[in-house]
Each structure stands twice: as C-alpha cells, then as structure tokens.
Structure 1
C-alpha cells in the first residue's frame, strides 16, 4: 500500500515535466521556424534627416540639429537593400507657437518603406530636438545708390533718384529688424556732363540674410542728375525805367542793385548792358504805395550765317551759256530763281556765334535777383 502511494507523486511529476518539456519544445521550435523564415537578423545604425510639417506659413523654423541616429534591425537581405535616403524622421509642429520648444522624437516618427517587412526600430538618438519658431514679417526699406568719380569740369552731382525709392523684404523678424536700408552698387560718374540712367543692382550675398527675400520683381532704376555749377555775379546798380507808361512819380530808391545767378558758362557770357530793370504799369488806375520791379533781357541782334550753296555758282554758269540776255529762256531762269529765293525758308540759316545761340536758348535758366524787389512811391 505504501509503495503504491509513493509511486503516484513520482508519476505525476514525470507527467508535468514531460508537459513542460513539450511546451518548451513547441515554443523553441516556433522561434526557430520564425528565425529560419526571416533569415539572419542584422542591426545597423543610420543617420537620418529630420523633416517637419504643420508649422504656420508665417513662421520661420530653425534648429541646430538636422539629423538623428536611428538603430534598425532586420533580415540580412533587407538590411543590405536599405539605405539612409529611404528613411526619414517626421515631426509635427502644428501645436507649437512662436518661441523655443523641445520637441520629442518617438519610434513612430521614423518612416520606413512598407516593402521592408522584417525591419524593426531599436532606438532613436537623441530623443528630443530643440526648435526655434519665429514670426516672419514684411518691412519697407529705402534704397541708397552712391556715386564714384567726379563729373566734368564746371559740373556737379545734384542728386540720385531711385524708382521705386523703397522695396519690401520678407523674412524672420530677428533678421529683418537689423535691416534699415539697402545699398545699390555705385554708379560711375567720372567726367559726366549730363544725366545718367540705369538699373539698380544689389550684392545679395552681403546684404540679405539667408532666409530673407526681396518681394519686388519690377526693375529698380536710378537717375543721376548732373547739372552745370551755378555762378553768382554782381551787375551793380541800375536805374529803373517805366515800361509802357510815363507817370510823373517819384520813388525811392533811385537805383536797384542787381545780381544774376545761373550756369557758369552762361553767366560768363552775359554783359550788364543787356539787362534792363523796368517798372510795369499797374493794372488799377490808382497808383499803389509800392511798385514791383521786373526786368527785360536786351540781347544783341543775332548775326546769321547762311548755309553754303556749292551748286549755285555752277548752275548760274550753265544757265548763262544756254541763254542770251533778254531771251525768253533767260526770263524763265530769272523767274525760277526769284521763286526759289521767295520759298527758301530762313530756318536754314544759323547764328554765326554758337555760344550766343546757346545763351538765347537757355536765357530762362538765368535767375535775376533785384534788391529791392519793389520801389516805394513818394507822394
């Protein structure tokens, strides 16, 4: 009886041991089958680029880190086929506002092509990346264009016009705040005696931060204004004369001081005798207490020079040979010559002195300064 009782626990233990061994064998066989199916597993570490999405368009995203390390394991075959260009780590920044943020990285952020079935993510390093989100702004900046060189003698640079005079730049606020103006490339004005026009160009690499853009696409043009230097000359005192009326009036002062100012080459041509100071007739019949003064230029009559007519003498010689005095052909020739002289315009003639011709054309550029500008009527 005692022997039977002792054999029962032993049989039970043997059965349990056999069952456990069977379970372990099944599990181990399954794993071996799975390993055989996948092949030999290999682990590799990839350097993967970061990508972000969801940020507002008016935000500039910056970070000191552009890549992370991702450890992957998988079958030897698939790991040989996999390259870093097939992988990417994507971070959603739609929930972040302007400022500095520590953005965590999870295994779910790593994207692997679906065709790779055996590859698994082991870890990602670092586990978080700091991003700076900054608001983008627009700002209007004036354009400055400088000159280099000197104009011709007796000429000077008056100003440089730029059209449009300012442009709009767009970029991160911290970079835009440091911009106050844009400088175009200098314009050469050496020995210039007239205006210069052209297109404004910029050195973008030096003036524009990397993340800043110039929004204007239209051509920006400049115009360099070159003018002849002005000369002020004193003509002395003049006695005013009545213009178109002869009243019996006394006025003071009896003489008026005169200065002229204008382009150097024009003022140097002037003669004080060519200027007359006048007292125009008032519009009302009553004589006012003061009489305004004006002036008239009395330039000498132009000496005209007719254009050379090289063919006139030759034509006259031929006509004299063809006809005798008093004959009908001669009369026709005389009539034809008279008709030609009548219809020939005087505009073909030129003033003999080109400097005086230029003075007549530009006399309006001469500014006459009268002191005083009006006379006091003495009653």
Structure 2
C-alpha cells in the first residue's frame, strides 16, 4: 500500500514531468540530420498531342527522392501534399526522354539537401493514331448436343472500325465475337458483341449488335471396318457424320502406341483421328497384339 501511495503522491506533477521529458527527447531526436526517402505522386499534363498522336506506354505514378535533412523537416514534408506536376508538351512521334530536376519537387530547398531522384528520367513512347476496318468473326460455338455440327457461319455486318496506335492496330487481323451457345438445331439466329480486348489503347466504334446466322446440321451414327499396315486384325470405328458426307478409309488415321513388350508379342494401343466434321464415338478393339518378328 505504501508503494501505491508513493505513486499517487504528486501524480499531476509526475505526469507533467513525463510529458516534458518526451517533448525534450522528441525535439532532440528530430533535430538530428538523417537521410530519408520520400515518394512523390506524379500528375501529368499533356499539350500538343492533338487527335493524331497517342502515348502507348504506361508512365510511372511515383518518383522517389532521397533527401538529407532534420527529422522535423522530414515529418513536415511527409505529411504535406507531395505531388509533382509535369507538363509533357511538344511530344514527338517516337521515343521522348523526360527528365526530372530537383526544382520539380514541391518542397523548399532550405535546410534540405536532395542528392537523388529515382527515376531521374522516363521514356514516353508516342505513336500515330490510326483508324482501320477489320473483320468480325465467330471463333467459338459451344454445341450443347454432341450430335450437332456447324455447317456455316454468317455475320452481319462483317466488319467494324477500330481506332488506336498504328503499331497495335496494324497487328489486329480480326475481332472475335463472344462465344455462342447452341442448345438445339433450331437455334440459328443470335445477336453477339465483340469480346473485351485486353488492350486499353484500342477503341471500337461499334462493338455490339452483330447478327450471327448459323447453319446447323445433325450428325448420324455410322461405322466402318479398317485395317492397319502393322496388323491384320480388323478395327471397327463408330462415328458421327453429316447425312450427305462421303466417308472413305482416307477419312480416318489410325495411330498406334507401343505400351508393352511380352516374350513373343508386342501390345499396341489404338487411337483414331477423323477428318472434321466426323466425330469418333468408339474404337474396337482399343488394344491389339502383334507377334514379334524373328
């Protein structure tokens, strides 16, 4: 109880002494000169680009400045607005080098020594804007019924216009439409839009309202017997085909893979590929054996 009463004795005076001690310590500590790194946010202003030029590389959002100053000054800068406003004027087609100087930093140079800015220079790549018509295509039709196949695809309108940097626009051969799902053979008319491009520099004048007409046919089950050059055993292939499709032995390609070698026999696994629109259902047998040659 005596120790507790000692703590309570002159408690207000002790708290004031503690606060004054902290203030003295903080003041002495922040008077020390040290090296600090401070990030500055970049804000760009563009002049002179017009509608014919466009910047095609990502510009940095921040630069870092290494300064030598007191702790007090560092704290004042740290909690103030730190934005570097950079006017990018008179940019030319090609690669432009932009430099940052100490004077660009929104801080007073009094009691501050700036000895590094990172990055000190940035590269701004400028390209010409180009407008070009490109085809629009259906690249994916999802058939929910395996007995269906697509005979033909018609898109209207067949083209649309893209606008963007010439170096990117010239590489685009066509624009893909979003995948189309077909549930049954009577589903033939769709309205689709262009898939989202993974490129923020390209603008599409019209990316919606494309009328897609599909010609859908039904596949019929059929079978054929074939022989491989490696063995005499007949192979039965069950497949699906369009009603008017002419099938021959050349429509199929038999592949053999050696999976085991016994004392006197070789065991092969069979795989059959078919020319589209044929679809393989089954292959019998799936494995064959061949006698080893002497």
- TM-score relative to the length of structure 2: 0.49
Pick the structure with more helix per residue: 1
- TM-score relative to the length of structure 1: 0.40
Pick the structure with more strand per residue: 2
Instruction: Kindly name which structure, 1 or 2, has the bigger radius of gyration based on alpha carbons.
Output: 1
